[in-house]
């Protein structure tokens, strides 16, 4: 299990434990804390978060775990290590005048950790209690079972895990879970150069057990949607096509959406309405600016997806609240079609998984989930059919592509939290 991995890594990396001898669960880990932050899967509301729209994700059991301890000598250096590559320990100081916390200097996995630290420097300096405001460093070991590049928010879970680790290690209690998520989004923007919305970090930080969250990405208000239904299973299938969202595909789509908003705002400015995001735009207005030639066909398609996806998401929430999974499923399929044809973020392997899943008995709906260009599908399935659906998906995918797709059924988990704190006697 991931917690055991993180414990063991901490003991071997920082306590000199013999890596073969450290018995799981028997490490000392004095004065250490252990926190967890989950990955996520999004049921519907894709590529809407950066348009001030609506999303409906849930937190997974797959998660990043961190065991960490404040430096006891009061120094400001940090050591971080990841179970993904235990040999690549990264050391740096909490010194904003040095290079160590400068965006762009580190392109390794440590950039996510450093980006979050940067956003907590004020609290870390205050927590140190030193007269010159120098922050105290820490040692931290990370382990995760969120697959990387699978569209399940491995990087957001690392960021949120880092944030809650800092809060726990340094006794910071002034940061709300939503504020924590926003700081992690900032880290993603500035240190990973990814202009993402707030969904991934938000659900990793604020997830609620048994529920998906409808998140209004403008007001940042969450609404719990209880899906803890024994008749329903959420199935995730990983195409194992690695998505790399660091290329231009994602930023290009963000830009297209903004261009459509600007064109509509310009065209209709005499009505005095303020339009700052796709959230404020209607299909009719989009059509009008397209007809005038103010936006091209591709920009129109991108924006059309965003506007129609918001509507679908709100309808899906209503249907889910009424346990009308047939309607939720239909909306998920429409979402997939729009992501495939209008937003153009799907790939053949994902389309195959969705199409094949929809042919199976007991499937309400299926779609691509996350940023796209590979990654996973999410499907709503009747409980008594879930095993058969997963087996058949695996078989058919292997037959077609000669490789496995990892399928799993997930429960709806809680967001980031403390697992234990050895400072509390």
DSSP state of 415: -
What are the tokens at 164? 């809650």
Written as one string, the DSSP assignment of 318-380 is HHHHTT-HHHHHHHHHHHHHHHHHTS----HHHHHHHHHHHTSTTEEEEEEESS-SSSEEEEE
Which parts of 110-150 fold into alpha helices (H)? 110-119, 121-128
Between 119 and 197, name the residue whose CB sits nearer to ligand GAF: 197
Residue 200 designated active-site:
yes
- Choice from 199, 225, 260, 353 touching ligand GAF (CB under 6 A): 199
Residue pointed to by tokens 């699978």? 150
- Choice from 50, 112, 120, 325 touching ligand GAF (CB under 6 A): 50
- Near ligand GAF in 270-299, by CB under 6 A: none
Helix or strand holding residue 167 (H, E): helix 154-169
What are the tokens at 113? 């950790």
- Choice from 365, 370, 374, 415 touching ligand GAF (CB under 6 A): 370
- Choice from 46, 52, 167, 265 touching ligand GAF (CB under 6 A): 46
Stretch of 196-204, 258-266, 293-301, 325-333 lying at the interface with ligand GAF (CB under 6 A): 196-204
Shortest Å, Cβ 264 to ligand GAF:
21
- Say if CB 68 and CB 7 are below 8 A apart: no
- Choice from 3, 49, 159, 310 touching ligand GAF (CB under 6 A): 49
Choosing from 106, 139, 200, 310, which is the catalytic residue? 200
Residue pointed to by tokens 């599908």? 377
Residue pointed to by tokens 């496995």? 404
- CB atoms under 10 Å from CB of 75, counted, come to 12
- Say if CB 213 and CB 366 are below 8 A apart: no
Stretch of 44-52, 141-149, 275-283, 407-415 lying at the interface with ligand GAF (CB under 6 A): 44-52
- Assess 47 for contact with ligand GAF (CB under 6 A): yes
Distance CA 90, CA 124 (A): 19
Between 139 and 200, name the residue whose CB sits nearer to ligand GAF: 200
- Choice from 68, 196, 213, 214 touching ligand GAF (CB under 6 A): 196
Shortest Å, Cβ 57 to ligand GAF:
9
Shortest Å, Cβ 251 to ligand GAF:
11
Stretch of 45-53, 162-170, 288-296, 399-407 lying at the interface with ligand GAF (CB under 6 A): 45-53
Annotate 219-246 with b (16+ C-beta within 10 A) or e (fewer): eeebeebebeeeebbbbbbbbbbebebe
# binding residues, ligand GAF (CB under 6 A)? 10
- Assess 329 for contact with ligand GAF (CB under 6 A): no
Between 7 and 302, name the residue whose CB sits nearer to ligand GAF: 302
- Choice from 115, 306, 371, 415 touching ligand GAF (CB under 6 A): 371
Q: Is 419 exposed, middle or buried (0-12, 13-18, 19+ CB in 10 A)?
A: middle
Distance CA 17, CA 244 (A): 36
Q: Residues interacting with ligand GAF, by CB under 6 A?
A: 46-47, 49-50, 196-197, 199-200, 370-371
Catalytically active residues are: 200
């Amino acid at each position: 299990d991931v917690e055991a991995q993180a414990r063991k890594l901490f003991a071997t990396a920082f306590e000199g434990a013999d890596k073969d001898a450290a018995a799981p669960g028997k490490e000392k880990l004095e004065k250490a804390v252990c926190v967890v932050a989950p990955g996520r899967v999004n049921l519907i509301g894709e590529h809407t978060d950066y348009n001030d729209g609506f999303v409906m994700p849930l937190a997974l059991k797959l998660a990043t775990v961190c065991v960490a301890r404040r430096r006891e000598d009061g120094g400001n250096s940090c050591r971080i290590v990841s179970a993904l590559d235990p040999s690549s320990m990264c050391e740096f100081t909490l010194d904003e005048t040095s290079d160590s916390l400068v965006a762009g200097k580190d392109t390794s996995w440590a950039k996510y950790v450093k980006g979050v630290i940067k956003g907590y420097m004020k609290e870390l300096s205050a927590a140190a209690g030193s007269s010159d405001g120098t922050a105290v460093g820490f040692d931290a070991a990370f382990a995760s079972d969120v697959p990387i590049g699978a569209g399940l928010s491995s990087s957001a879970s690392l960021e949120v895990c880092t944030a809650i680790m800092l809060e726990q290690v340094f006794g910071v209690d002034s940061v709300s879970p939503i504020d924590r998520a926003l700081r992690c989004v900032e880290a993603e923007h500035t240190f990973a150069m990814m202009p993402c919305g707030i969904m991934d970090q938000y659900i990793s930080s604020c997830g609620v057990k048994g529920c998906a969250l409808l998140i209004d990405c403008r007001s940042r208000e969450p609404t719990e949607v209880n899906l803890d239904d024994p008749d329903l299973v959420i199935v995730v299938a990983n195409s194992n096509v690695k998505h790399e969202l660091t290329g231009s595909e994602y930023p290009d789509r963000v830009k297209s959406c903004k261009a459509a908003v600007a064109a509509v705002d310009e065209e209709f400015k005499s009505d005095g309405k303020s339009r700052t995001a796709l959230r404020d735009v209607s299909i009719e207005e989009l059509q009008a600016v397209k007809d005038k030639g103010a936006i091209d066909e591709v920009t129109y398609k991108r924006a059309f997806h965003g506007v129609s996806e918001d509507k679908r998401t709100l309808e899906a929430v209503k249907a889910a609240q009424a346990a009308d999974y047939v309607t939720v499923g239909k909306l998920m399929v429409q979402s997939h079609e729009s992501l495939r044809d209008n937003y153009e973020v799907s790939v053949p392997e994902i389309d195959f998984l969705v199409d094949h899943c929809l042919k199976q008995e007991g499937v309400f709906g299926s779609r691509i989930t996350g940023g796209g260009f590979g990654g996973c599908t999410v499907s709503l399935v009747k409980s008594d059919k879930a095993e058969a659906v997963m087996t058949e998906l695996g078989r058919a995918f292997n037959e077609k592509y000669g490789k496995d797709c990892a399928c799993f059924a997930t429960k709806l988990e809680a967001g980031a939290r403390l697992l234990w704190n050895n400072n509390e006697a």
